């Protein structure tokens, strides 16, 4: 006598895989003059588990960045410029991307992205003093005063040079200013 029976085996997924993050570039240089809405990086996340264990979400930290993570398609994201990066304040952002699944226990992965901000010449220099007094009838070539101006830009954009306005010929014939040392 022979017999058979059907055995149904159900395999349940164990949340044994952490999410994975793929970033288009881990180090991105941008200019502080880039327009808002510029895509800075592309991120793709995945998880080899199934069901809720394979459902993933992505976020970036810290939350107060001039960048925003937007979902472009299912598990693909764009890091978008949403505010002026202002090189004079912060010249480099270290952004932590976090991918997390919905399994039990929750598993997550982090990846760092560095966005370097290059300066543009977007600030005018300002003089540190506005009123200058000196005695009349000074001898020719006598040092009268040293003026100074500050420019909050960085690098070459922050270098200040000095000159007198040649349209006021009567003034420029009496006063000489050293363009680098700013001595009158």
Give the pLDDT confidence score for residue 174 in this predicted structure: 62
Q: Which helix (H) or strand (E) is 40 found in, with range?
A: strand 39-46
Give the residue-averaged pLDDT of 12-26.
Answer: 92
Q: What fold, for 20-118?
A: Immunoglobulin-like (2.60.40)
Both tokens of residue 93? 């952002």
User: DSSP per residue over 42-105, as a string?
Assistant: EEEEE-SS-GGGG-EEEEEESSSSSEEEEEEETTEEEEEE-S---TTT-SEEEEEEEEEE-SSS
| Percentage of the chain lying above the pLDDT 70 cut | 91
DSSP 24: S
Domain locations along the chain: 20-118, 121-183
Angle among Cα 108, 79, 103 to the nearest 5 degrees reads: 20
Predicted confidence band of residue 136 (pLDDT cuts 50, 70, 90): confident
pLDDT at 18: 93
Confidence of residue 169 (pLDDT cuts 50, 70, 90): low
For the full predicted model, state whether its pTM sits above 0.85: no
Tokens of 73: 């398609």
Higher-confidence position of 141 and 78: 78
- pLDDT score for 88: 73
Judge contact between 70 and 77, C-beta under 8 A: yes
Instruction: Characterize 122-136 residue by residue with b for buried, 16 or more Cβ atoms within 10 angstroms of its Cβ, and e for exposed.
Output: eeebeeeeeeeeeee
């Amino acid at each position: 006598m022979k017999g058979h029976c059907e055995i149904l085996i159900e395999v349940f997924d164990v949340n044994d895989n952490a999410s994975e993050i793929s970033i288009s570039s881990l180090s991105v240089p941008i200019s502080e003059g880039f327009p808002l809405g510029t895509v800075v990086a592309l991120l793709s996340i995945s998880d080899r588990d199934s069901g809720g264990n394979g459902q993933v979400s992505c976020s970036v930290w810290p939350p107060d960045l001039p960048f925003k993570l937007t979902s472009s398609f299912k598990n693909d994201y764009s890091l978008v410029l949403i505010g002026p990066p202002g090189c004079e304040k912060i010249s480099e952002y270290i952004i932590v991307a976090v991918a997390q699944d919905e399994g039990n226990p929750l598993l997550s992965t982090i990846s760092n992205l560095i966005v370097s901000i290059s300066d543009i010449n977007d600030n005018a220099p300002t003089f540190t003093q506005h009123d200058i007094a000196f005695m009349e009838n000074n001898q020719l070539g006598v040092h009268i005063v040293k003026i100074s101006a500050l420019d909050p830009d960085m690098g070459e954009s922050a270098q200040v040079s000095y000159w007198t306005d040649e349209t006021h010929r009567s003034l420029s014939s009496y006063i000489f200013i050293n363009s680098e040392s700013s001595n009158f």
